[in-house]
Structures are given as C-alpha cells and as structure tokens.
Amino acid sequence: MIRIQEILDKVSANNKNANLELIRHAYIYAATAHAGQTRLSGEPYLSHPLAVASTLAEMGFDEPTVAAGLLHDTVEDTKATIEEIDENFGEDVADIVDGVTKISMIPFENKEEAQAENIRKMILAMSHDMRVLMVKLADRLHNMQTLDFQKAHKQRRIAQETMDIYAPLANRLGLNVLKRRLEDLSFKYLRPDIYNQIDHWLDTHQVVEKHIIDKVVDLIRDLLTSNAIEGQVYGRIKHKYSIYKKMQSQSL
C-alpha cells in the first residue's frame, strides 16, 4: 500500500511551499472514515484513495486536488457529508469531492456511440472545475488496475464504460499518457485473446523494436544538429490498443 509520506514527497517536489498539512489532515480523515472497510482484493479500502492521490501528486496537481483524491469516496461510501468536508478542508476540496460524487451517480446503461458522447458532454458540463475530472480519471485508473478482483461480467461492463467514456475524456483533456493506460487496461478485459497475443509479441520483440527506435531517434537528432535546427525527438513502441487498431485498419 502506498504510504502518505510518498505522496507528500511528490507534492513537495513540485512545490516547495505546498500546504502539506491539508493533505495530512485529509489522510487522517479518510483513514478514520474508511476504517474497517476493505476492497475485493482484501486490502484496506484506504489503499484506493491513497493510490488516487498518488497519481494526482505524480501529475503535479495542487494540494486541494490531492486532498480531494484522498477524500473522494468519503461522502459516497461513509457517513461523511459534504458539509463536513467543507468545514474541515475548505470550499475548493468540498466542491471537487461533491463533483466526483455526482459523476459516480450517473447511470451508464446505454453504450451506443451517440449516447456515450452525450454522457461525456454531461460530465464536462457538471465539472465546472476541471480538477473534478482529474480526480475521477485517477479514480478510474486505479479501479481498472485492480479490476482482476471483480467478476467477469463486471470486468467487461466497467472496461467498456472506461473505453467509451473515460479514455475519450482523457484524450479531450490532452492527457495522452492517461488515455493510453485506460485504453490498454480496457482492451485487456474486452478482447483478452488478442490482448494476450499482442502482449506476448511485445515481450518477444520489444528489445529489438526499442533498439530500432533508438537508432532512428539518434539519426534524426544528428540531422537536426548538423543543420543547426533546435528540436526534441523521441520515439516509443505503440501501446497495445493502438497496435490492435492499426491491425484492424490494415485488415480492411
């Protein structure tokens, strides 16, 4: 389980003057509120808000956002109220927690493309503070990372919801790394047969592919330097879902 000090260290690395006491207070409050609760994995429930807060701290978000990550399930899953959150942590944190709680209550029954777009618009409209979406996306990421402990039909439902709603939202917000992680995790449960084939191929060929990419990157950098052109060059192996989409387009 992630330790609170790891989160505080990440926040401090981004802001030497950060209000760490707000985050410590949120941790103690969340630990008390979730005391005795466990996840399907058997871990203490607190492991989830700690993981969410850690992701937010890693992404460089401010103290109210990280604190809200620690508190995001307290109103929905414990006896805590928004009024208490407001009183203890201020309006900013309370507004974020309230927004995440309301998004969690939206029904996701119809997954048709047009309906998915309507739901994305609804979530964006509800999130007058973009930090609400950041917390919700970090929440969904950890839920997807621990989806093995759910029953098969729930795995597919949650994965489809993530692919239809949350990965496109991350993309719309320019969070490409988060989008790719959500897509790959969803793909793992929606098409496990193809996912495993691609995963095995990458394990077998990854070293060679990385070597080729590094050589091409070095070549382009040398060309830029020799022509006195400033620029950044990087390369990466496509993520698993992107490889699958490429395979689909080539088979048409």
Locate the DSSP E strands across the chain.
Answer: none
Q: CA-to-CA distance for 116 and 206, rounded, in angstroms?
A: 35
Q: Which residues are designated catalytic?
A: 76-77
Q: Comparing C-alpha atoms, which of 129, 141, 54, 122 is closest to residue 98?
A: 129
> How is residue 1 written in tokens?
């389980």
Q: Is 38 helix (H, G, I), strand (E, B) or coil?
A: strand
82 class by beta-carbon count within 10 Å (0-12 exposed, 13-18 middle, 19+ buried)? middle
The percent of the chain in helix, strand and coil, each rounded to the nearest 5, is 75, 0, 25
Q: Is 44 helix (H, G, I), strand (E, B) or coil?
A: strand
Q: What angle do CA 82, 1, 187 make, to 5 degrees?
A: 85
- Judge contact between 241 and 184, C-beta under 8 A: yes
Q: Can you say how many angstroms the Cα of residue 33 is from the centroid of all Cα atoms in its chain?
A: 23
